[in-house]
Structure 1
Amino acid sequence: MTHEPIHVDPPPVYCPIPSAVHPLVSEIQRRSEDWIAQFAFWPDATGRETVQAFNCGELAARMAPDGIPEHLQICTDWFHLAFVWDEFYDRLPTAKAGGGLAQLAELAVKVIRTLRVPAAALLPEGSPSSVALRDLAERLHGMSTPVQRHRIIDGQQDWLSAVAWEVASQTRTELPSLADYTAQRLYTVGGTAFTGWLDFLNGIEVSGKEWDAPAVRALTEISGIIVAVDNDLYSYAKDLWFQQRHGVLLLNYVSVLAAHFGCSVPEALDRAVRMRDRLMCLFLTLREQIARRASSDLNRYIVGLGHFIRANIDYGNVSLRYRNPDGRSPNATQSTMRFSDTPSDASLEPIDIPHIAWWWEQLHG
């Protein structure tokens, strides 16, 4: 049986952050493909093709266009390894999600412990995940400061714990509430899992006082939700593909907004863009406010948050991961992001989701 390709055309988004990429992006990607190929995650050539489709070198190089090449290499290798796990657990059919949750709960704790203690020997000896993770953890410990490393690992812990909630959601047939999905998606998209790398990638170390300041914490979370909505926009076609062919619950801001407001998919797409444009205006305003009194390292960090937002869009627009959903169906799905010079909603009033209302409280005057 043949299926028509699924094309989704979201409204244009407001993102006045210029595109940028590290000049060694191709070399970093090639080295990462060579690195992960040695661990035999796949029995044939499809493995390298899968990693080429992930193209995580592009994502890392856009997150830190002036980053340290050796640090970008470790980050890219981790992204590729994490994406291997993410592809397996992200779209489990409802009937299989229960078993997947049990496996993931064990894997998550063992991965985090190995990142903290490379010689932990918790994963099956000789398995691709065990050998690759230990190699990566040892390299990370050798190149990072304790503060940089803890921020990276704490972010991965956020991600893996939220993915467990996501897999639990896939055991059900009903969608989560808008508030619940926002809490879940902040971390399943890898919000802090990505931003936790920015110190290390750029060779900086934001002080604990600045890192933990409420306004900086808010800005970090805002960037994560903008990325979450954007990711759901350009992956909506792929999510539909898995729902229609494999019975996977359609966990996506578009479907959650459609259920929350009782509206059509086109209206939900419009609501999603208006929501993320409103958040973009908040991000830009709060970032400007923070920059006035920020140290040099903090300024580089908050500039990096902007690179993260733009990197996610540029990456999504070129990654084969969102056009070939299962690695065997080229051009089956497409949701290309476009840009607008003006926001569809420039309001600085809080969005009606109680657990993020405190973000707007960080604005002064």
Structure 2
Amino acid sequence: MKITPPSAAAREEALVRLDGLVKPLGSLGRLEELAAWLSAAHDAVPPRELDDVRVAVFAGDHGITASAVSAYPREITAAMVRVFLAGTSGVTVLARQVGATVKVFDLAVDADGLPDEVTAYKIRRGSGSIDREDALAPGEASRAFDAGRRIADAEIDDGANLLIPGDMGIGNTTVAAALVAARLGLPAEEVVGTGTGVDEEGRARKVAAVTAALARTGDRADDPFERLTALGSACAAATAGFLVQGAVRGVPVVLDGVFSGAAALVAQDVAPGAVAWWLAGHRSTEPSQAHALKALGLEPILDLGLRLGEGSGAVQAVPVLRAARAVLAEMSSLADLT
């Protein structure tokens, strides 16, 4: 698949214009960098308004929850999907503050009774417990990846000009840690965090689970789809597809936390150059996200100590991006003073 890079010419034009605004050189710090990034993405100076932000929450259950790696039971995943639909989840509340739209997609929730619009892209019910077996059956990673691409296409065709991937699934941080460790050759101890807030015993169980998963997988993880099959999930594969298609379509994507960071490593392997279309919305408290972002060369916009997931941290970065755009669109130039 072809990834056309953002416009280098527009970026340079934006940087020149920023230097000519009524302020000391570089005095708006990261806002200037983001303004130039958006100009390159839109091939326009100033960039277009970010007035149609879409959050796609990819939901699925993970078999690894049987190893007590989370502070919450597996059944919370389906319950939270219903909370998203009610509009009272963390990300839906926060998204309303910035005018963003949230949709939830069931890729692998192990439950019945969810609406058809939520289950339209469903691949399976739950995933294998990665410490003992593959997460997915052969071919399911590709199917889920393609589903993520179709979801991105549908949102973009409907007018989205900024995409945010969200996640919902008890056990997500364990899966993300395994994906990052396998890709970067890191031991489980370096990538496993406390996730939903487990104690040291819980974290030790997570470390043991990821260690076993890595030993079982071996060098299969060198291939991104084999990595998803062995260690990932349908929602991780769909997230990767969503990220890739945003880049293919030339629409900026703001990554959220640990789960989208792990998926981004997969997506970059599938579509080299896609990372040029992504920003890191915030710094998660999970160590695997830090490793993933370093490998991708991305610096988080915000650091608020968030670990909710759902796309909630990335949503908080939207006002910062709008402010960066406004600097280029509305500030006077030094030439206006004479």
TM-score scaled by structure 2?
0.36
Greater strand share, 1 or 2? Answer: 2
TM-score, length of structure 1 as denominator length = 0.34
